[in-house]
Structure 1
Amino acid sequence: METYIIIILCIASFFAGFIDAIAGGGGLIQTPFALILLPLEPVSSLMGSLKIPGFTGTSVASVQYLKKVDMNWKLLFIMAVFSCIAAFGGSYLLTIVSNDFMKPLLFGILVLLAIYTFVKKDFGKHTPKEIPFQKSAILGIIISTLVGFYDGFIGPGTGSFLMVAFITVLGFDFLHASANAKLVNLASNMGSLTLFIAKGKIIWLMALPMAVCNGLGGWIGAKLAIKKGNDFIRIFFLVVVIGTLIRLSYDIFFKN
Structure 2
Amino acid sequence: MSVELVVFLLVVALAAGWVDAVVGGGGLVQLPVLLLALPGAPPSAILATDKLSSISGTTASAVGFARNAGAELRVAVPAGVLGLAASGAGALTAGTVPATVFRPFVLVALLVVACVVILRPGIGTASGGGGRHAAAPRLAGVVVLVGVALPFYNGLVGPGTGAMILLALSVLLRMDFLTGSATAKVVNVGANLGALVVFAAQGHVFWLLGLGMGACNVLGARLGTRTALRRGSGFIRATLLCVVAALLVKLGVDQLG
* TM-score when normalising by structure 2: 0.90
1:44 CA drift (Å): 1.6
Q: What are the superposed Cα offsets for residues 183-211 of structure 1, whole Å, 9 maximum, x if unpaired?
A: 11111100110111000011112111111
Is 1:216 the counterpart of 2:219? The answer is yes
1:247 CA drift (Å): 5.2
- CA distance in 1 between counterparts of 2:123 and 2:63 reads 25
Q: Is the 8 A contact 1:25 1:244 kept in 2?
A: no
Change (3 A) 1:163 1:212: same
Q: What are the superposed Cα offsets for residues 32-58 of structure 1, whole Å, 9 maximum, x if unpaired?
A: 332233222222212211111100000
- CA distance in 2 between counterparts of 1:252 and 1:30 reads 17
Equivalent position of 1:19 in the other structure: 19
Query: What does 1:198-237 correspond to in 2, within 5 Å?
Result: 198-237=201-240
Change (3 A) 1:220 1:133: farther
Equivalent position of 2:173 in the other structure: 170
Equivalent position of 2:146 in the other structure: 143
Q: Is the 8 A contact 1:160 1:241 kept in 2?
A: no
Equivalent position of 1:195 in the other structure: 198
SS in 2 for 1:10: helix
Is 1:69 the counterpart of 2:69? The answer is yes
Change (3 A) 1:251 1:89: farther
Is 1:79 the counterpart of 2:82? The answer is no
Instruction: State, as a whole percentage, how many aligned pairs show the same letter.
Output: 30
Q: What are the superposed Cα offsets for residues 118-158 of structure 1, whole Å, 9 maximum, x if unpaired?
A: 24321111223331456313421233211101111111111
Query: What does 1:6-155 correspond to in 2, within 5 Å?
Result: 6-98=6-98, 104=104, 107-108=107-108, 110-129=110-129, 130-133=133-136, 135-155=138-158
- CA distance in 2 between counterparts of 1:174 and 1:137 reads 20
Change (3 A) 1:14 1:82: same
Task: Please point out which of 160, 165, 169 is paired with 2:163.
Answer: 160
Equivalent position of 1:181 in the other structure: 184
- CA distance in 1 between counterparts of 2:83 and 2:30 reads 22
Change (3 A) 1:26 1:79: same
- CA distance in 2 between counterparts of 1:251 and 1:128 reads 39
Change (3 A) 1:109 1:73: closer
> What code does the residue aligned with 2:81 have?
V
Change (3 A) 1:101 1:10: closer
Change (3 A) 1:88 1:166: same
SS in 1 for 2:96: coil
- CA distance in 1 between counterparts of 2:59 and 2:100 reads 29
Change (3 A) 1:92 1:250: farther
SS in 1 for 2:93: helix
* TM-score when normalising by structure 1: 0.90
SS in 2 for 1:145: helix
SS in 2 for 1:201: coil
The CA RMSD over aligned residues, in Å, is 2.2
Equivalent position of 2:242 in the other structure: 239
Runs of 5+ consecutive residues of structure 1 not aligned to the other structure: none
Aligned length: 254
- CA distance in 2 between counterparts of 1:208 and 1:113 reads 29
